[in-house]
């Protein structure tokens, strides 16, 4: 199916963002049942899933152009949002190759990759980019390879080096994060950078996840969904920018909560990189307002129940704190008490007008 | 990027290197590019011969990053009736066999200040792929290959493309003082050893005695995927299902049409938890507690196996 790319979206003050019906129906809704608790919800990243967001190795959608533009704006103000430690050069080329090959294979109308030995030519028709370069020679690209290619992607990326039975975050492109900072986390171990997550440490979730990821194999990527709530369709909710987005929270009212409060879902995919043996972590964020999601009857019901019954310890971490009550009261109108089907599929093909 | 094992590969060339060594060149059977092999990676060949398939792991010796072919060196093990004999006696150029996607359990440590490589006999193979990768990165290295006296010329030949002042071949274990070698390394050196278990143990012990942290000592290890075949019995129906050497219990159950819920398929999430009512599981998961593992009443069929021939599940 062809994607109608939007060209004028704004992800900061002056917001201009909405999901088409097609984008709502393909949303990777994260709640498989009517309640939510942490678990090691990692599964093989095979093609296909409950919505088309799982069909490609790396998913792009109608917000591609706007999100790439937003990334360029953030980097212009703060170049340290992209950093890679020097020993990760092989991982940089691994990343460039993985992204170019999968985009060219999954979206041949928009991206083309030509190879003549080490001489590669990359065409990105959506951003009007065409570059020829020598694979392995960073000086033949306008940026280092990791920055070059992740500037042309939706979602954040981090690079993990594996050593001493642990994973170290030794690089990243992080411009649309949910309140964490690459500059702060760079060089940290797996448990250190997960430090702030409540409950999960007690459950042993990270010990198990680390053991699993240390054994991640090339050619067998894995994925999981994570979620949080955010006010306004703002991508850059970084700690550095708190003065910009913190005040958003005081603007929510019972009247506007349905349009202002967004569910932010991260489709996280992890890839073992072949040359460097590093792990590429892709965090692809999807934003949809409560009202957009509630147009899918099953999701409206379920969202109401999940927020109503959530463990209070998770409230703040998930960005719910002060407007959880407002959201529940607003969502109650979409919950007629009917049972919901298992899994996350929307179970409708078209949305009611 | 999302690959499904095994790959079908064609034997493009077989080159005898000595009476017991052959170099195999493998290409993708469909003529396309192969998944990338890195320095230290291995593939398992799946050889259909006789009553059950052989599955043997070999380090790649082709140039790291090469996608046109995989090269590996196979030693015929004395008295072998398994995979290495099959390769030496029955495999011909043009044959199509199965190979797993390269998997690297012996990777280069990119932040090391210096790389000390020690090979014993055919254990040189992963180090042959290290050399061009390290040279290309301008890394500091030193290689010592220990060889039986009559094979010294053979290993000198294999190392010839990389010959330099920092590459040495020694005739016999006695010709190299491992402790002295380790003792004179600069701080921040990582040592990599591949060869007979006794050599690898020796290097580990010598490094530990000199106070090297374990995180700077690396030994080749192909990992323990798969294992001996066994039989599953489903307690409720009495049905028996065979689990092959390369198959997980979960795969075997699914292939037999017995649905078991699963998510990660790697022993982490807990989704496939199944009760055991007979036999002793061999636990390979990260989900069960040590106590639960010792009790043996639960098993994660996505990764674990059986200690004996029969495991009875409450299914
Ligand atoms: S499927 Fe996750 S532990 Fe078995």
The DSSP-derived string for B89-123 is: HT--TT-EEEEPPPB-SS---TT-SEEEEEEEGGG
**Which of A43, A46, A162 has the CB atom closest to B2's CB atom?**
A46
Residue B24 lies in a domain: yes
- pLDDT of B1 reads 47
In A, which residues are within 8 Å of B40 by CB distance?
277
Dihedral in degrees, nearest 10, Cα atoms B167, B171, B172, B174: -80
Task: Tell whether B124 and B212 lie within a shared domain.
Answer: yes
Active site residues of A: 224
Residue B287 alpha carbon, nearest atom of ligand 1: 3
Tens digit of pLDDT per residue, chain B (315 long)?
455 668 999 999 999 999 899 999 999 999 889 999 989 998 888 888 766 667 778 999 998 888 999 999 998 876 655 678 888 888 999 999 999 889 888 899 988 999 999 999 999 999 999 999 999 888 999 999 999 999 999 999 999 999 889 999 999 888 899 999 999 999 999 999 998 888 999 999 999 999 999 999 998 866 555 678 899 999 999 999 999 876 789 988 988 989 888 888 888 888 899 999 999 999 988 888 888 999 999 999 998 999 999 999 999
Model ipTM value: 0.79
Residue B303 lies in a domain: yes
In A, which residues are within 8 Å of B264 by CB distance?
40, 42-44, 212, 222
Phi-psi region of B266 (alpha: psi -120 to 50; beta: other; left: phi over 0): alpha
Instruction: Using alpha carbons only, give the angle A164, B116, B198 rounded to the nearest 5 degrees.
Output: 80
How many residue contacts between A and B have a Cβ separation below 8 Å?
96
Q: Are A287 and A231 in contact (CB under 8 A)?
A: no
Residue B107 lies in a domain: no
- pLDDT of B225 reads 58
- Counting every residue written for chain A, the total comes to 353
Q: Are A68 and A154 in contact (CB under 8 A)?
A: yes
Q: Strands across the sheet with B114-120, in order?
A: B167-171, B140-147, B114-120, B189-194, B217-219
Choose the mutation target among B2, B70, B214, B283 for the interface with A, i.e. most A CBs under 10 Å. B2
Task: Tell whether B147 and B79 lie within a shared domain.
Answer: no
- pLDDT of B80 reads 58
Task: Tell whether B181 and B85 lie within a shared domain.
Answer: no
Question: A60: distance to nearest CA of chain B, Å?
Answer: 16
**Which of A47, A165, A218 has the CB atom closest to B35's CB atom?**
A218
DSSP per position, chain B = ----SPEEEEEEEEEE-SSSEEEEEEEETTSSPPPPP-TT-EEEEEE--TTS-EEEEEE--SPTT--S-EEEEEE--TT--SHHHHHHHT--TT-EEEEPPPB-SS---TT-SEEEEEEEGGGGHHHHHHHHHHHHTT-EEEEEEEE-GGGHHHHHHHHGGG-STTEEEEESGGG--HHHHHHTSPTTEEEEEES-HHHHHHHHHHHHHTT--GGGEEE------S-S-EEEEETTT--EEEE-TT--HHHHHHHTT-----SSSSSSS-TT-EEEEES-EE---SSS-HHHHHHTSEE-TTT-EESSSEEEE--
Q: Are A111 and A46 in contact (CB under 8 A)?
A: no
Q: Which residue of A has its CA nearest to B133?
A: A275
Task: Tell whether B129 and B62 lie within a shared domain.
Answer: no
Residue B1 lies in a domain: no
- pLDDT of A235 reads 87
Residue B224 lies in a domain: no
Residue B81 lies in a domain: yes
Residue B225 lies in a domain: no
Write the CATH number for B59.
Answer: 2.40.30.10
Residue A59, CB-side half-sphere exposure with 13 Å CA sphere? 26
Task: From B251, B300, B313, give the residue whose CB has the most ligand 1 atoms within 8 Å, as the site to mutate.
Answer: B300
Task: Tell whether B67 and B14 lie within a shared domain.
Answer: yes
Listed as ranges, residues in chain A with pLDDT below 50 are none
Q: Do B264 and A43 touch (CB under 8 A)?
A: yes
Last residue of a domain, one of B219, B248, B267: B219
Integer-rounded Cα Rg, in Å, for chain A is 20
Instruction: Using alpha carbons only, give the angle B246, B248, B249 rounded to the nearest 5 degrees.
Output: 135
In B, which residues are within 8 Å of A90 by CB distance?
110, 137
Q: Are A245 and A229 in contact (CB under 8 A)?
A: no
Q: Do B104 and A215 touch (CB under 8 A)?
A: no
- pLDDT of B5 reads 67
Q: Which residue of A has its CA nearest to B34?
A: A219
The Cα–Cα gap between B189 and B170 comes to: 21
Residue B181 lies in a domain: yes
Residue A42 alpha carbon, nearest atom of ligand 1: 2
- Nearest residue to B32 (alpha-carbon basis) of B13, B8, B60, B16: B8
Q: Do B264 and A40 touch (CB under 8 A)?
A: yes
CA of B268 to the centre of ligand 1 (A): 6
Write the secondary structure of chain A as one string of H (helix), E (strand) and C (coil).
Answer: CCCCCCCCCECCCCCECCCCHHHHHCCCCCCCCCCCCCCCCCEECCCCCCCHHHCCCCCCCCCHHHHHHHHHHHHHHCHHHEEECHHHHHHHHHHHHHHHHHHHHHCCCCEEEEEECCEEEEEECCCCEEEEEECCCHHHCCCCHHHHHHCCCCCEEEEEEEECCEEEEEEEECCCCECCCHHHHCCCEHHHHCCCCCCCCCCCHHHHHHHHHHCCCCCCCEEEEEEEEEECCCCCECHHHHHHHHHHHHHCCCCCHHHHEEEEEEEEEEEECCCCCCEEEEEEEEEEEHHHHCCCHHHHHHHHHHHHHCCHHHCCCCCCHHHHHHHHHHHHHHCCCCCCCCCCCCCCCCCCC
Task: Tell whether B19 and B83 lie within a shared domain.
Answer: yes
Q: Ligand 1 site: residues with CB under 6 angstroms?
A: B 262-265, 267-272, 285, 287, 300, 302
Give me the number of domains chain B comprises: 3
Task: Tell whether B119 and B212 lie within a shared domain.
Answer: yes
In sequence order, the 6+-apart residues with CB closer than 8 A to the CB of B172 are B146, B147, B148, B149
**Alpha-carbon distance values, A220 to A38, A153, A205, B265 (Å):** 24, 21, 21, 11
Last residue of a domain, one of B219, B254, B276: B219
Task: Tell whether B215 and B270 lie within a shared domain.
Answer: no
Atom 3 in ligand 1: which residue has the minimum CA distance? Answer: B267
Range of the domain at B202: 114-219
CA of B263 to the centre of ligand 1 (A): 6
Q: Which residue of A has its CA nearest to B100?
A: A219
**Which of B1, B110, B265 has the CB atom closest to A219's CB atom?**
B1
Backbone angles phi, psi at A84, to 5 degrees: -140, 130
Last residue of a domain, one of B99, B122, B150: B99
Question: B210: distance to nearest CA of chain A, Å?
Answer: 19
- pLDDT of B140 reads 95
Task: Tell whether B246 and B204 lie within a shared domain.
Answer: no
Q: Are A157 and A150 in contact (CB under 8 A)?
A: yes
């Amino acid at each position: 199916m062809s994607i109608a790319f939007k060209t004028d979206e704004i992800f900061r003050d002056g917001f201009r963002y909405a999901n088409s019906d097609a984008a709502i129906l393909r949303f990777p809704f994260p709640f498989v049942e009517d309640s939510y608790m942490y678990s090691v919800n990692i599964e093989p990243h095979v093609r296909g899933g409950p919505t088309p967001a799982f069909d490609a190795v790396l998913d792009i959608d109608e917000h591609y152009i706007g999100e790439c533009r937003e990334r360029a704006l953030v980097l212009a103000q703060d170049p340290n949002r992209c950093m890679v430690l020097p020993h990760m050069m092989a991982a940089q080329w691994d990343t460039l190759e993985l992204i170019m090959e999968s985009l060219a294979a999954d979206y041949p109308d928009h991206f083309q990759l030509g190879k003549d030995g080490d001489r590669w030519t990359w065409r990105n028709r959506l951003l009007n980019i065409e570059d020829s370069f020598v694979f392995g020679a960073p000086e033949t690209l306008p940026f280092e390879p990791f920055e070059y290619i992740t500037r042309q992607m939706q979602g954040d990326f981090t690079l993990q080096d594996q050593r001493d039975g642990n994973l170290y975050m030794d690089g990243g492109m992080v411009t649309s994060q949910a309140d964490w900072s690459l500059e702060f986390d760079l060089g940290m171990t797996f448990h250190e950078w997960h430090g702030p997550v409540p409950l999960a440490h007690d459950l042993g979730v990270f010990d198990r996840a680390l053991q699993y990821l240390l054994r991640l194999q090339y050619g067998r990527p894995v994925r999981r969904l994570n979620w949080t709530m955010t006010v306004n369709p703002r991508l850059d909710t970084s700690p550095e920018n708190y003065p910009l987005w913190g005040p958003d929270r005081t603007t929510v009212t019972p009247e506007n909560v349905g349009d202002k409060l967004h569910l932010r879902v991260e489709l996280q995919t992890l890839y073992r990189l072949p040359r460097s043996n590093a792990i590429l972590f892709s965090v692809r964020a999807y934003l949809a307002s409560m009202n957009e999601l509630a147009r899918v009857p099953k999701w409206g019901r379920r969202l109401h129940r999940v927020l109503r019954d959530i463990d209070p310890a998770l409230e703040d971490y998930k960005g719910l704190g002060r407007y959880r009550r407002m959201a529940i009261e607003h969502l109650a109108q979409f919950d007629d008490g009917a049972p919901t089907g298992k899994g996350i599929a929307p179970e409708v093909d078209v949305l009611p007008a | 990027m999302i690959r499904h094992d095994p790959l079908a590969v064609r034997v493009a060339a077989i080159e005898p290197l000595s009476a017991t060594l052959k170099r195999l060149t493998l290409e993708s059977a469909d003529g396309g590019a192969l998944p990338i092999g890195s320095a230290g990676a291995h593939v398992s060949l799946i050889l259909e011969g006789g009553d059950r398939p052989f599955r043997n792991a070999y380090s790649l010796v082709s140039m790291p990053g090469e996608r046109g072919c995989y090269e590996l060196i196979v030693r015929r093990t004395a008295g072998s009736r398994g995979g290495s004999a099959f390769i030496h006696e029955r495999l011909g150029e043009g044959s199509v066999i199965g190979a797993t996607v390269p998997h690297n359990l012996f990777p280069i440590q990119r932040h090391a200040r210096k790389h000390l490589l020690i090979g014993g006999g055919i254990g040189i193979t992963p180090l042959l792929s290290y050399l061009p990768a390290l040279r290309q990165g301008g890394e500091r290295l030193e290689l010592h290959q220990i060889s039986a006296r009559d094979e010294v010329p053979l290993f000198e030949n294999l190392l010839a493309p990389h010959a330099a002042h920092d590459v040495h071949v020694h005739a016999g274990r006695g010709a190299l003082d491992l402790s002295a070698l380790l003792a004179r390394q600069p701080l921040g050196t990582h040592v990599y050893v591949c060869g007979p278990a006794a050599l690898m143990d020796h290097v580990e012990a010598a490094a530990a005695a000199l106070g090297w942290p374990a995180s700077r000592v690396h030994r080749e290890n192909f990992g323990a995927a798969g294992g001996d075949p066994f039989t599953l019995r489903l307690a409720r129906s009495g049905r028996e299902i065979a689990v092959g050497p390369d198959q997980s219990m979960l795969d075997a159950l699914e292939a037999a049409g017995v649905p078991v819920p699963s998510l990660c398929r790697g022993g982490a999430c807990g989704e496939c938890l199944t009760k055991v009512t007979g036999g002793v599981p061999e636990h390979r998961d990260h989900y069960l507690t040590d106590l639960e593992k010792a009790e043996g009443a639960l098993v994660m069929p996505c990764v674990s196996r059986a200690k004996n021939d029969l495991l009875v599940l409450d299914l």
